[in-house]
Structures are given as structure tokens and as C-alpha cells.
Chain A
Amino acid sequence: MDKFDEGLRCQDVHAGLRNVNPNSGVLVPLAGTQMIGMAASVAALVRGLDVVSDAQALRAVAAEQLDVSPYAFDNVIRSLADLEFIQGVVYESDRVVRFTETVPFYDDLYGRLGEAWREKQPTDLEEQMVIAVDRLAESPVPVEELASRAGLDSTDLPRLIEIGAQSQLIKTIEVSGGLVAYSPFFGFENPALLAELIRDHGPAQIADAFAAVVGEQGLPVESANKVLIDAVGRGLILAPAVELPGGTLQPFATLPYSLDSTLLRSRKPVLEKALAVVACLRCGQHFGGYNNLSAAGLINVIDKLLDPNRGYLNPRGEHERQYRLMHRSGLIAFGPDLRHGGTWVTPRFIDTTDNREALGIARDLLSQGQQIEGRGGGDEARKILELGAPYTAPMQTLNRMKNKPNIDDKSWQAVIDKALGRGAR
């Protein structure tokens, strides 16, 4: 696992432990990881404030909103100070009263938290828990396979599962062949159905199918994909359907992974709106014909709707069909055609807090899918190779003709600094 994932999963661990009684002994073996997770949550909360002049008010907000125990608050602040995310901590009678922050906007916040977690020398159990949480973020896994798939020590597995279950970080379900572990952060409609599905299709097929959906949220469910059809048919995973040009309904499979448990329960309508957006846009991406949306185009549509100075899409013939699901969800209204004499509809965003949040979630789900595929790096590498080729030969020739001058590193650095305009003068 890289440091970014480690930092990210520490926050997952903290999010899971929020459901556990803070005085429970279960928390003790995971205390260090939970501390980093709390630090991540507080860092995200204070980023951009510059000066926190009433740290006690922050202590209350962190306790209320982030489940950061008031007793752990001072240690969280100390951890953030060690990371140099905050400075100038002022204490009064051992209580933190004030500090300034420089939590990075662009630098890798989770990477640095992951580094800090490593430096704190996590126990074997903590390491294994973070690895397991990371693995289960991809798909459910039979417990007996978890050790091999996640590279864990199989002798420690029973204890890991037990503590994971107690601390609400790992859920298990009984299948005829044994236990299957899954993440509570997945928005499964009915986890009990998972057992039936695994029994009928086998754990490997289920893991592959689910990992594909996590890799592309809003994956079109194709008739050949029996496992996915079955999972959608039984109601295990959500797959909003959009009408295609031929009149048939096409489902788009989604498997949201969210640390916000209310989004999976009391605020589920917001999540459902987000999934409707994902489905409508994927339809435009895969079934839009010559008007197919590009990957960047998906995000562009969301940005146009979120833009308070715009908030609409230009009318097109297919919009009424393609965005009907978003219309029915109350996300958009169909206004009259903007063109004189036109007969198409103009999708207009209905600007409410819930609708904004839904579009934001949809944006994350779609862009995360793109990032996992990692296409950018490949293109960049190809470009470098193409550009590097023409000057390789002359440089080699020159090298053969002349003796290589013996110049030390420092001199080279000075030459290069000057060439790149970084020199002092």
C-alpha cells in the first residue's frame, strides 16, 4: 500500500470507530490509527481558516461533527503540529486555546498522514486492519481468501475479523462455504443477499464484478454479465435505469463507498439523486451516438449545472429522454427551448442544498473512476518517449567525440540553475 492509501484508510478506520462506544476496550488496539484518522478529519475541518483563535470552540465542533473525543483533542492537535500542519499552539492550563494552520491545499494531505502513521510504528494488528479495510474498499472477499488477497498473515485473521466486527470496520455474512467479509461503507441495499449471490456464482466472480463497478461507477449492465444482472435483479446493488434511443431501459450499476453513514440511511434520497446523475451521464457517454460525451465531458455537464451563473444545458433532441431520471428525481426542470421556435427542452438545475450535494457526490464518483484507470500517466509517458527520441543520437555522437569533462555535481547544478532561470543573478 502506498502512503496515500494508508492515510486515507486511517480516516476510514476512524469513521468506522465513530459507531463504537468511545469507552470500549475494542478501541485500544487501534488507538494509534484512530488518532491519525482523527487528525485527518480535523485537518480537513480547519484547512483555510489561517487562525483558530478559539480552539475550545473547535474542540466542541470536532466532538459534535467528527466524533473526535474531547479527551483526544489535545493529542490530535499535537499530531498535527508534529506534521507542521499547525503552528503557534498556545496553551492555557494545559488546554489548547489558539493556533495557526497551514494545512496544505495542493500537497498530498493523505500521503503525509500515511507517512506519520508509519512513523508512529503501528502495531501488526493496526497494519493488518488498514490493509484489510483497503482491500474491502474494492469488493467483498471470502474471509478465507482475505489473507491471501490482501497479503495478511492467516494466523492473525480470526482476531482481525473479530476486532473488525466489534469495531464496525469489517462486516461478515455467512455463506454455505464459510464467512464473506465486506465493508460497511458500501451502500448495499440488502447485505443478506450477498450470501446468496456468492453461493450461486462463487466468490471470485463476485469480487471481479464488484471491483469493475468500483472502477467505473455507473457501469452499463450488459446482458453477458450474468453476475451483475443477478446482483441488480436481486436488489443487492443499485442500478438506476435510463431509456435508450430504441426505447429499452438500460441499467447502470453503482456501488457507492461513503464514510458518511447518514448518506446510506436517513439521507439516502441525496445519494439516490447522485446515482441518477451518474446513470444519466454514463448513458450519454456510452449510448449518445455521435453526441457521445467524453470522460471530461461528464464532469463538464455537472460543472455547467453547478455554475450559479449558468445552471442549464443547451437544448438537444435527446435531452428529454436522457435526463428524464434526473428530472423525475427533482434535480432538473425542463424549460422551454432557448432557440426561437425550437421544440426541444432546456434542462435547468433546481438549485437546492440537497441537489448541490448530489451533484458533488456524482462528480466524485465519476472522477474517481477516471483516476483509477490512470490514463493520464500513460499518455504522458508516451509523449516523453516521442520527444526524447530525436536528440538521443546527436548527444551520443558528441559524447564519443569528446572526452567527458570532469565536472562536479555542484558545478553542474549551478549551470542548470542558470539555464533554467533559477540562479541568484
Chain B
Amino acid sequence: MSELDLGLKVAARRLLWRMGYTTRIDVQLRSVGGVATASAGSPRRSAGAESFTDLDVLGLTISGGYRVESAIVDCKTTAKGSTGRMFWVRGVADLFAADAAYMLRETDVSHAARQLANRLHITALNSKELAQAEAFHPSDLPLNSGPVSWLFDRDKTQKVLHAFSGLDGRLRELRDYREFDYWVGEEYRSLTQIVEQLRLSSRLLSPRNPHHVSLVIDFAWLYTVSLTHAIENIRKAYISDLDLGLSQYILGGPNGFSEKKELSKMLAHLSQNGAIPQDVYVDPLPSYHSRLLELTARLQRRPAHILSALRLLEVGAFTAALKEKISAPTDTGALYDEVGAKLAADVVNFLVTTSDLDSGFTARARSILLGEEFVDPESVKSR
């Protein structure tokens, strides 16, 4: 990551916030590792993960029908190569299926690049034009006072990015999933993979470590995005039968649902005959399916609050990573939405309970999101 570009990135983030997005800086896209390859004369062997590219700033918003719309921003301090870069941005936008793409340059955008902007559906801006674009999107959010303004502070952003990259090496798999694999994997699998990834690291995560609290809240952000994708998918065919819709979705659609059910029946049969230990769980749906169903139902009933939930999680994760505190939820001004905050807390609680994380994470998150007094569950137990 070029630190020179960070000033532009946080400025782009602020524009996206004004435009109604929840954001993320430096999203890495890379290939899936472990895929076997072969070349002439050499045996087949596994390849490591390779980087495709990265998105400097990603913006997500929820439109009608629970559709997650995305915008990507490419930020560079120099105008050099901006013409060719337009084609690169278009390719990345297509790879990511982004609905909008921006190319941001500090000084200027080349004349040729501006001619390409309309043809390639990319918005090209220099730093001065960025300020004008911001002025065209007035906002009642407290963008100039903490904690919301911290998101647009270059030094604080640097600190937060370092907090995540400097996590305990034993959390590498969890960190890699959050940083890379989540963004390139099939969307439907995220609902189960996030839970499993957190479960694998549950013993290493402590609610007393603010960076871990930030990580868990950030995973809740990812999970809320995945749930919104799920709801968009489910409501197309099963708006009145959420249970069936969710079951099909998490098993990869009608074919996957049918295949997994058949496989599960075979495994159950083997289990009954003693070929598989009786205690092994062979149901096609995860053991926490009923809780996931309840959570999905809650979000489905509150489409107008999902974006608020995501933005509050974004601010909450950022604040925790900075080891700062939000003294009262109302410090977030017009951003504060008690239903949105409660839904965000529900997602955190779901991840904590299904991934066997310390219940202190829920207490911490509720304190940040809902302003509840933090009571350490460990201290209650020891009384």
C-alpha cells in the first residue's frame, strides 16, 4: 500500500459516505491457493495464492430489493499513466461487478482519460473536483467531529490498517480470510465460512484486546453484507418461505440443496449402521440454522435500517481498533439509529454464540453500538 495515496483514499471515503455508502479501504483480490496446475514436462503441483489486484476504496450501499450496490475508487497521486489506467479500472470494476467506478488523481487527469470516462462509465476526478463533488452532496452526518470524522483522518486510518496487519501471527488464517478470501469466494458460502473461520480462532480471540474486538465487529460488517446478499436472493423466489429460501441459498441453490440432502441421508444411514460415530453431525444444514433463520428474518423485516447497521459497525470497528471510546451512541449524531444499532448488535451476538467466542465480545459490541454499560461477563462469573 502506498502511503502517499492514503490522503486521497480517505477523501474518497468521505465522498462515498456523503453519497450514502458504507466503506472499506484496501480490499485485496487474489486467486484461490492450492489449485493444482501442470505444465509440460513437470508434474502437477499446487500453486500458492496470487494477487489479482486491490481496490483502494470500496463503497457499498443497499438499494431497493436489498440489492447491494458497489462503487470502487482507484486513487493515485500522479497523473502519469492515467489513460491506460482507465482500462485497468474498467476491468477491475467488471471483475468485482461494481455498479460505479471512480478514478481519482491528486493533480490532474489526462485529457485522453477524460475522453474515455464516458465510454468506460468511469468518473474521473482530480483533487479539486473531488472537493466540488463533496460540496454537491451535503450531509447531516457529523463528518467533521469524532468518531465519524476519524474515518476520514489519514493518520488514524494508517493506525487502523496497521492494527489489522499487525495481528498475532496465529490469527493469520482468519486475517487472510477477512482480507482476501471473503472477496473472491462464492457469496453464499460466506454465511457458513465466516462462522467456521471465527470458530477456528475462537481460543485466540479475547474481548480484552481492542484489536480483537475491532476484528469481530468488522466480521459482523462482512456478515451483514452477506446476509443482505442472501435476502436479496431469497426474496426473489421465497419471500413467503424464508426457511426454505435460506436453506437452498446456503447449500448453493436448488441443485446443491437436493444433492446435499441426499448425501446427508446416505451419511445418516451410515451413521445408523455404525459406520460413522453416532455423535457426528450429518445434517446438511449447519447446527445453527435456526438461529441464522431468526437473524435473517430480523434483517429482512428492517430494510431501511440495514445501511445504518453497516455504517455503525464500520465506525464501531474503526473506533475499537483505535482503542478509542464512544462515550454515548448519540455522539454519532444523525448516523445513530437505534434499530440499526440493535440489528448490528444482533449480528455480533450471532457470530459470538455460533463461533463459540467469549461472550465478552457481545458485551463490548453492545457497549459500543447501543451505549450499554459494559459489564465483563468474566467478572460476573467470578463474583
Q: Which residues of A contact B (CB under 8 A)?
A: 48, 50-51, 53, 87-88, 90, 100, 102, 104-107, 384, 387-388, 391-392, 395-396, 399, 404, 408-409, 412-413, 416-417, 419-425
List the B side residues contacting A107 at CB < 8 Å.
290-291, 293-294
Q: Please tell me if the beta carbons of B279 and A106 are within 8 angstroms of each other in the complex.
A: no
- B39 located at the interface, meaning its Cβ lies under 8 Å from any Cβ of chain A in the complex: no
Q: Please tell me if the beta carbons of A106 and B294 are within 8 angstroms of each other in the complex.
A: yes
Q: Please tell me if the beta carbons of B302 and A399 are within 8 angstroms of each other in the complex.
A: no
Per-position contact with A for B248-266: 1 when CB-CB < 8 Å, else 0?
A: 0001100010001011111
Q: Please tell me if the beta carbons of B252 and A50 are within 8 angstroms of each other in the complex.
A: no
Contacting A409 at CB < 8 Å: which of B197, B262, B277? B277
Bound complex: CA of A53 vs CA of B341, how far in Å? 13
Bound complex: CA of A425 vs CA of B200, how far in Å? 11
List the B side residues contacting A395 at CB < 8 Å.
269-270, 273, 275
- B5 located at the interface, meaning its Cβ lies under 8 Å from any Cβ of chain A in the complex: no
Residue ID in chain B nearest A409 by CB atoms? B277
Q: Which residues of B contact A (CB under 8 A)?
A: 173, 177, 181, 189, 192-193, 196-197, 199-200, 242-243, 251-252, 256, 260, 262-267, 269-270, 273, 275-277, 279-282, 284, 286, 290-291, 293-294, 297-298, 301-302, 338-339, 342-343, 345-346, 349, 366, 370, 372
List the A side residues contacting B192 at CB < 8 Å.
421-422
Bound complex: CA of A408 vs CA of B280, how far in Å? 10
Bound complex: CA of A50 vs CA of B342, how far in Å? 7
Q: Please tell me if the beta carbons of A416 and B267 are within 8 angstroms of each other in the complex.
A: yes
Contacting A102 at CB < 8 Å: which of B270, B280, B294? B294
Contacting A420 at CB < 8 Å: which of B263, B270, B273? B263
Shortest Cβ distance from B180 into chain A, in angstroms? Answer: 11
- Given known pairs A419-B263, A421-B192, A422-B286, the reply for A409 and B280 (CB within 8 Å) is yes
Contacting B264 at CB < 8 Å: which of A106, A413, A420, A423? A420
Bound complex: CA of A387 vs CA of B276, how far in Å? 19
List the A side residues contacting B266 at CB < 8 Å.
391
- Given known pairs A51-B338, A51-B342, A420-B284, the reply for A88 and B279 (CB within 8 Å) is no
Q: Please tell me if the beta carbons of B277 and A412 are within 8 angstroms of each other in the complex.
A: yes
List the B side residues contacting A50 at CB < 8 Å.
298, 302, 339, 342-343
Residue ID in chain A nearest B302 by CB atoms? A50
Bound complex: CA of A104 vs CA of B346, how far in Å? 12
Contacting B290 at CB < 8 Å: which of A100, A106, A392, A420? A106
Shortest Cβ distance from A168 into chain B, in angstroms? Answer: 35
Shortest Cβ distance from A416 into chain B, in angstroms? Answer: 6
Q: Please tell me if the beta carbons of A53 and B280 are within 8 angstroms of each other in the complex.
A: no
Q: Please tell me if the beta carbons of B265 and A384 are within 8 angstroms of each other in the complex.
A: yes
Bound complex: CA of A47 vs CA of B234, how far in Å? 22
Residue ID in chain A nearest B188 by CB atoms? A421
Further 19 A-B residue pairs, CB within 8 A, beyond A48-B301, A105-B294, A391-B266: A50-B342, A87-B366, A90-B372, A100-B345, A105-B298, A106-B293, A106-B294, A107-B293, A387-B265, A388-B265, A392-B269, A409-B280, A416-B282, A417-B196, A421-B192, A421-B260, A424-B173, A424-B199, A425-B193
List the B side residues contacting A87 at CB < 8 Å.
345, 349, 366
List the A side residues contacting B345 at CB < 8 Å.
87-88, 100
Q: Please tell me if the beta carbons of A51 and B339 are within 8 angstroms of each other in the complex.
A: yes
Q: Which of A87, A100, A417, A420 has the most CB of B within 10 A?
A: A420
Shortest Cβ distance from B323 into chain A, in angstroms? Answer: 24
Residue ID in chain B nearest A414 by CB atoms? B280
Bound complex: CA of A424 vs CA of B200, how far in Å? 8
List the B side residues contacting A416 at CB < 8 Å.
267, 276, 280-282
List the B side residues contacting A425 at CB < 8 Å.
173, 177, 181, 193, 197
Bound complex: CA of A392 vs CA of B346, how far in Å? 44
Bound complex: CA of A420 vs CA of B282, how far in Å? 8
Q: Please tell me if the beta carbons of A424 and B197 are within 8 angstroms of each other in the complex.
A: yes
Bound complex: CA of A392 vs CA of B268, how far in Å? 12
Bound complex: CA of A53 vs CA of B256, how far in Å? 43
Shortest Cβ distance from B173 into chain A, in angstroms? Answer: 8
Shortest Cβ distance from A89 into chain B, in angstroms? Answer: 9
Contacting A53 at CB < 8 Å: which of B193, B302, B338? B338
List the A side residues contacting B298 at CB < 8 Å.
50, 102, 105
- Given known pairs A391-B266, A399-B275, A421-B260, the reply for A88 and B290 (CB within 8 Å) is no
29 contacts between A and B (CB under 8 A): A50-B342, A51-B339, A87-B345, A87-B349, A88-B370, A104-B290, A105-B294, A105-B297, A105-B298, A106-B243, A106-B290, A107-B291, A388-B269, A392-B269, A395-B270, A404-B275, A409-B280, A416-B267, A416-B280, A419-B263, A419-B267, A420-B282, A420-B284, A421-B192, A421-B256, A422-B192, A422-B286, A425-B173, A425-B193
